[in-house]
Amino acid sequence: MTATAAPILISPETLVGYMADPDLRILDASVELPTPRFDQDYRVASGRDGWLQAHIPGALHADLLEELAQPQASFSFALPCADHFASALARLGVGANSHIVIYDRTDGFWAARLWWMLRSVGIAAQVLDGGFNAWRAAGLPQRQGNESPVPMAELRLQQSPGFWIDRQGVQAVLAGERPGVLVCALSSALFSGTAPSRYARRGHIPGSLNLPARNLLDPQGKYLPSTQLKDQLGDELLKTPAPLVLYCGGGISAAAVALAMTLVGRDNVLLYDGSLQEWAADSNLPMTTGATPA
């Protein structure tokens, strides 16, 4: 299955029409990550309990915190190696011919994260626009408790280049040794350092532009129409030939910006997996505060 086989976004009403498809795999990618109350207030938990309380019928919980992450990494949600990723997906019944729809129960950033992970290994997936909130708003059925196990699939994956960048790559961009435009997807308050950060230091990587991911969604949590998306993204980011290097706190909000960029046809986008959880933890790496909007 190619990464361009289906439209990126799917509505609840369209998803209902696929519910009888035996190849459909609906994944709830929710993670619990509360807003920090004070600096370094990092509280994270699996979204499994919320999934047990209510989910789309047939949906399985995709655990981005542990099962779908690299356990040896120094930061949360680290991209797993291809073999680890393939095994975790296979246990969810995801195979080469699966029709994958991803959602989460909050702002859609977790769904975007899993979508970008899948895209980077050549697997097409769709994101439920507006997530579980849109499903409930449409008055569609919900289910509680566990789902029946699905047969384990066979899946082999290979990571494609051009989707991710590591700390050394970001350092090279910052030093002018590698082309790239740094873009922080956090809120303006977190970017400027005026709000508590759950990470080791406040602020952003020097030279970054600020493009809050939530600015790309409407009040219902759905992605803005293409024209409005382009207005929010701006000509500078859409037309620059340099790669866009997206980051946030943990590579989650940045994935929503990557999805939005893809919706409007902007490629050459890289996501910094470690983001500020890795960067801010190293006191030798520079950070700054103050506003520098995109």
Q: Which amino acid is at 104?
A: D
128/126 Cα distance (integer angstroms): 7
192 contacts 184 by C-beta, under 8 angstroms: no
Annotated active-site residue 248? The verdict is yes
Enclosing H/E stretch for 192 = helix 188-192
For 178, counting Cβ atoms within 10 Å of its Cβ (0-12 exposed, 13-18 middle, 19+ buried), the class is: middle
Strand partners, 10: 128
Strand 209-210 to 181-184 pairing: parallel
- C-alpha 246: how far from chain center: 11
Q: Provide the 8-state DSSP code for 97.
A: T
Token representation of residue 232: 């929010």
- Of 27, 59, 127, 248, the active-site residue reads 248
CA distance 105 to 117: 19
What is the helix, strand, coil percentage profile of the chain, to 5?
Answer: 30, 15, 55
CA distance 182 to 200: 20
Active site residues: 248
